[in-house]
Amino acid sequence: MMPFTYNGLPSRVIFGQGTLAQVAEEVRSLGCSRVLVLSTPEQEGQARQILVQLGELGADVFAGARMHTPVETTEEAMRALASLGADGVVAIGGGSTIGLGKAIALRTDLPQVAIPTTYAGSEMTPILGETKDGLKTTQRTLKVLPETVIYDVDLTLGLPVGMSGTSGINAIAHAVEALYAKDRNPIVSLMAEEGIAALARSLPTIAGTPSDATARSDALYGAWLCGACLGSVGMSLHHKLCHTLGGSFDLPHAETHTIVLPHAVAYNATAAPDAMARIARALDAADAAGGLYDLARSVGATLALRDIGLKEDDIERATEIATANPYWNPRDIEANGIRRLLNDAYAGRRPATMEATEA
C-alpha cells in the first residue's frame, strides 16, 4: 500500500427518521442556552417549528440566508445574534443556510448544529465560500465545521424531485473527484465508493417515488459520505469547471455539476483507471462517464449547458478561465481537450470516453 495522510474531521452525527426531536438535547449538550435558528425565507416555517421545539433554548429565527453567503447577510445575522445575546446557532436547510451558520462561526467561534435538508454536503466540510462585492472567496478552517449534524430523513421527503436528482449528483461529484484526488487515501476512498453507490441506487427511485423513505434514507446517507469526501481531500477539474461556470456565467450550482460531471470524468478516464473502475462498480455501470450520464438522464435532469443558460459564445471564455489557474488534476489541463469537453456538455452529448481522452 502507498503511504498516505488521513485527516479525521471532528463532528458528531445523528442519523435517522425523526431525529429532529433530539435538537434541544443536542443544543444543551453543546453548552448553549439561547440559540439563533437560521433558514432561508422559503424555510422560515420549519425554522419557527424548531424555535418552538427548543423552548427556552431558542432565541429567535433569522430567515435571511441566501445563496453564496453574501457578507452583508452575515453581518445582518451577526447584528441579530448580538442583540439577542445568542450563544449558538442551529441552521436548517441546504448549503446556503449552513454556509451562513459557518460564516457566523468563523467570526464568533460559537457552536453550530446543522440540520441539512438537501444533499449538498456542506455540513461535513471545514470549507466556507463567501461573496463580497460580487467576488466569491473560499477558505478552509476547522473553525467553520459544525460541531453537530442532525440528519433527519423526514426533512428530505419533500425535497422537490428535480432538486433531489441534481443535488444528489452534485454530492456524487465530490466522491468521484475524491477517488482520483492527489491526496486521496484508502479511508476517504471507501467513503467515496459507498457514497456513490448509496446515491446511485436511491436517486432513480426517488425520481419516481419521492416519498420512498428507504430511498431517501440511502440518499441522505450517501450525501453525508460524499460531503465528508469534499471536506477531506482536494478537488480537481470538475470542481474548477463548475466554479468557473457558476462564478463567471451565473449558472445554477447543482444543475451545472450534474451536466459537467460525466464529461469531466471522460476527460480524466485514462489518467485515473483505478478511480474509474471504482466509480463504475459503485454505479453498477460498464464505464464511469457513461454511467454518470445515464444516472443524470434517469433522474430527469437537464443534460445540456445550453439549456441552463450558457451561450455558445461563452465556451471560449470559459475555456480560458478554466485553464488559467487550474486545480491539480490527474490529467494535464490542455485547452483543446477542455474546449471539446465544454462543447460536449453544452450540447448534452453522451460522453465517449476514448474519444475524449485521445485529444
Comparing CB distances to ligand NAD, the nearer of 242 and 321 is 242
Does 70 bind ligand NAD (CB under 6 A)? Our answer is no
DSSP H or E stretch at residue 297: helix 288-298
Q: Locate cell 423552548: which residue?
A: 55
Cα distance from N-terminal residue to C-terminal residue, the chain:
32
Does 93 bind ligand NAD (CB under 6 A)? Our answer is: yes
The verdict on 43 binding ligand NAD (CB under 6 A) reads: yes
354, amino acid identity: M
Can you name the residues that pair with 116 across neighbouring β-strands? 93
For 71-137, the three-class secondary structure string (H helix, E strand, C coil) is HHHHHHHHHHHHHHCCCEEEEEECHHHHHHHHHHHHHHCCCEEEEECCCCCHHHCCEEEEEECCEEE
**81 touches ligand NAD by CB under 6 A:** no
Our CB check for ligand NAD shows the closer of 159 and 318 to be: 159
Among residue numbers 241 through 280, which ones bind ligand NAD (CB under 6 A)? 253-254
Interface residue with ligand NAD among 127, 228, 245, 251 (CB under 6 A) is: 127
- Amino acid, single-letter form, for residue 177: E
Q: Which of 74, 148, 167, 217 binds ligand NAD (CB under 6 A)?
A: 167
Question: From the list 42, 72, 284, 307, which residue makes contact with ligand NAD (rule: CB under 6 A)?
Answer: 42
Q: Please state the closest distance from residue 10 (CB atom) to ligand NAD, in A.
A: 16
Cβ distance to ligand NAD smaller for residue 43 or 319 = 43
Name the pairing type of β-strands 135-140 and 127-132.
antiparallel
User: Is 345 in contact with 304 (CB distance < 8 Å)?
Assistant: yes
- In the block, residue with C-alpha cell 494535464: 332
Q: Which is nearer to ligand NAD, 93 or 204 (CB)?
A: 93
**Measuring CA to CA, which residue among 176, 193, 164 is closest to residue 292?**
176
Interface region with ligand NAD, contact rule CB under 6 A, candidates 49-57, 150-158, 190-198, 272-280: 150-158
Report the C-alpha gap between 222 and 193 in whole angstroms. 9
| Count of residues in contact with ligand NAD, rule CB under 6 A | 28
Alpha-carbon distance 200 to 221, whole Å? 12
d(CA 241, CA 253): 11
Phi first, then psi, for residue 67 (nearest 5°) are -55, 145
Binding-site member from 40, 73, 232, 258 for ligand NAD (CB under 6 A): 40
Q: Is position 118 an interface residue for ligand NAD (rule: CB under 6 A)?
A: yes
**Between 230 and 315, CB nearer to ligand NAD:** 230
Q: Which range in 90-98, 198-206, 259-267, 322-330 contacts ligand NAD by CB under 6 A?
A: 90-98
Residue among 117, 256, 258, 329 that touches ligand NAD (CB under 6 A): 117
Q: Give the three cell numbers for residue 342.
A: 465544454
Stretch in the footprint of ligand NAD (CB under 6 A) among 153-161, 211-219, 268-276, 337-345? 153-161
- By CB under 6 A, what part of segment 205-244 binds ligand NAD? 230
Instruction: In angstroms, give the least distance from the CB of 159 to ligand NAD.
Output: 4
Q: Residue 196 in contact with residue 282, Cβ under 8 Å?
A: yes
Residues that bind ligand NAD (CB under 6 A): 40, 42-43, 67-68, 93-97, 99, 117-118, 120-122, 125, 127-129, 155-156, 158-159, 167, 230, 253-254
